[in-house]
């Protein structure tokens, strides 16, 4: 059956950019006429070994010609470790405060020669998340919020993570914890309103689900602040929409409140506008306090009283990570890092 011998070309459409195999260090070695070991020495500038200048040039030329790029997975497999710091990618729009903090952290870590990777963890939950992260064998994990429990921390450490840092409301067993206690935000806001003589205080609770991690602790702090006083708290559920704010404003007078802590500056702006449109005067008829100290609070009229939140310096956190990586023996430390300050302006 001689006709069967006619070879069918592998690529029937050779005009397409043929799916060429990715060049490896072996290819570079072959082209340069040296061994793979030599290629490795040259490309990594290994100081323990001296390679002749002509050879170096041939290797570099070959690498460039092939467009060789080393394979990170292979390298870290061989090395037995990586310098990857893993953080979960944010799932809710972050305010400038947070994004500034993370940029600084990222920058500082890369100065220390770490590679920062944000890992999207949509759909996973609980300890599955920790397992998914552990598969990447990061040298360190920085996890804001309540992503990680003690179990997750243990999984990560068993998988070689030398530092696990959480930024959360309370200490997590086995991990370094920077305590970001948002209760203090509510507490400060309410305390301020009390000194202004307010007693019947509303607390805005955003209906956006991703925000409950912040809104609940803030509310808890509010309750703590009214303990042992004659003031009363009223929860005010509010979606971040004009209509919702208008509806709340419409029934405002029946609520009989003389102040409101609006969760943050953005909700404060939303609510203030609706209240003003209803003819309510701020601060005569009621006081309004926001939080986060965003620029927009200064641009409102009246200017918005707010709780300024100072996050720790990204550089400090980066150094904590680095220290923990280099001395894995140290006891995980826990410390509060939210420094809060009421900025009194005109709305209260």
Partner DNA sequence: TTGAAAGCGATACCAG
Partner DNA sequence: CTGGTATCGCTTTCAA
Site string for DNA, 17-36 (x = CB under 7 A): ----xx-xxx------xxxx
Q: Examine residue 45 and tell whether it contacts DNA (CB under 7 A).
A: no
Smallest Cα–Cα separation from 347: which of 277, 260, 279, 263? Answer: 260
Q: Examine residue 75 and tell whether it contacts DNA (CB under 7 A).
A: yes
Q: Examine residue 41 and tell whether it contacts DNA (CB under 7 A).
A: yes
Out of 29, 134, 153, 248, point to the residue binding a copy of itself (CB under 8 A).
134
DSSP 5: G
Asked if 96 and 297 touch (Cβ cutoff 8 Å), the reply is no
Residue 290 has phi, psi (to 5 degrees) of -105, -160
The DSSP string of 185-249 is HHHHHHHHHHHTT--EEEEEEE--GGGHHHHHHHHHHHHHHHTTSS-EEEEEEE-SSHHHHHHHH
**What span, in angstroms and rounded, lies between the C-alpha atoms of 178 and 320?**
10
Q: Examine residue 243 and tell whether it contacts a copy of itself (CB under 8 A).
A: no
Q: Examine residue 96 and tell whether it contacts a copy of itself (CB under 8 A).
A: yes
Terminal Cα distance for the chain, rounded: 96
Q: What is the nearest approach in angstroms of a copy of itself to the Cβ of residue 76?
A: 6
Q: Examine residue 247 and tell whether it contacts a copy of itself (CB under 8 A).
A: no
Q: Examine residue 126 and tell whether it contacts a copy of itself (CB under 8 A).
A: no
Q: Examine residue 299 and tell whether it contacts a copy of itself (CB under 8 A).
A: yes
Q: Examine residue 115 and tell whether it contacts a copy of itself (CB under 8 A).
A: yes
| H or E element in which residue 148 lies | none
Interface with a copy of itself by CB under 8 A: which residues?
Answer: 13, 16-17, 19-20, 22-23, 67, 69-74, 76-77, 82, 89-96, 99-100, 103, 106-107, 109-111, 115-120, 122-123, 131, 134-137, 154-155, 157-160, 240, 242, 266, 269-270, 273, 295-296, 298-299, 301, 328-329
């Amino acid at each position: 059956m001689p006709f069967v011998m006619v070879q069918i070309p592998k690529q029937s459409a050779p005009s397409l950019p043929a799916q060429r195999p990715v060049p490896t260090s072996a290819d570079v070695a072959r082209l340069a006429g040296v061994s793979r070991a030599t290629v490795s020495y040259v490309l990594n500038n290994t100081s323990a070994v001296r390679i002749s200048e002509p050879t170096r040039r041939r290797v570099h030329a070959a690498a460039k010609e092939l467009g060789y790029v080393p394979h990170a997975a292979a390298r870290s497999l061989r090395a037995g470790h990586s310098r990857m710091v893993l953080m979960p990618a944010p799932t809710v729009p972050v305010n400038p405060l947070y994004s500034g903090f993370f940029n600084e952290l990222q920058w500082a870590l890369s100065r220390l020669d770490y590679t920062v990777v944000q890992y999207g963890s949509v759909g996973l939950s609980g300890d599955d998340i920790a397992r998914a992260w552990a598969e990447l064998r990061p040298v360190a994990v920085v996890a804001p919020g309540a992503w990680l429990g003690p179990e997750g921390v243990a999984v990560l450490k068993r998988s070689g993570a030398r530092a696990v840092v959480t930024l959360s409301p309370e200490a997590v067993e086995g991990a370094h914890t920077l305590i970001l206690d948002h209760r203090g935000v509510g507490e400060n806001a309410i305390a301020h309103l009390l000194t202004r003589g307010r007693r019947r205080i509303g607390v805005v609770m955003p209906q956006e689900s991703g925000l409950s991690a912040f809104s609940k602790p803030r509310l808890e702090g509010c309750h703590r602040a009214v303990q042992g006083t004659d003031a009363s708290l009223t929860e005010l559920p509010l979606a971040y929409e004009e209509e919702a704010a208008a509806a709340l404003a419409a029934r405002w007078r029946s609520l009989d409140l003389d102040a409101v802590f609006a969760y943050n500056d953005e909700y404060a702006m939303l609510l203030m506008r609706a209240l003003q449109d209803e003819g309510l005067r701020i601060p005569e008829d009621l006081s309004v306090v926001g939080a986060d100290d965003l620029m927009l609070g200064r641009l409102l009229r009246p200017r918005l009283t707010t709780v300024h939140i100072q996050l720790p310096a990204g550089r400090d956190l980066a150094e904590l990570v680095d220290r923990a990586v280099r001395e894995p023996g140290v006891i995980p430390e826990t410390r509060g890092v939210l420094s809060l300050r009421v900025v009194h302006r005109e709305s209260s």
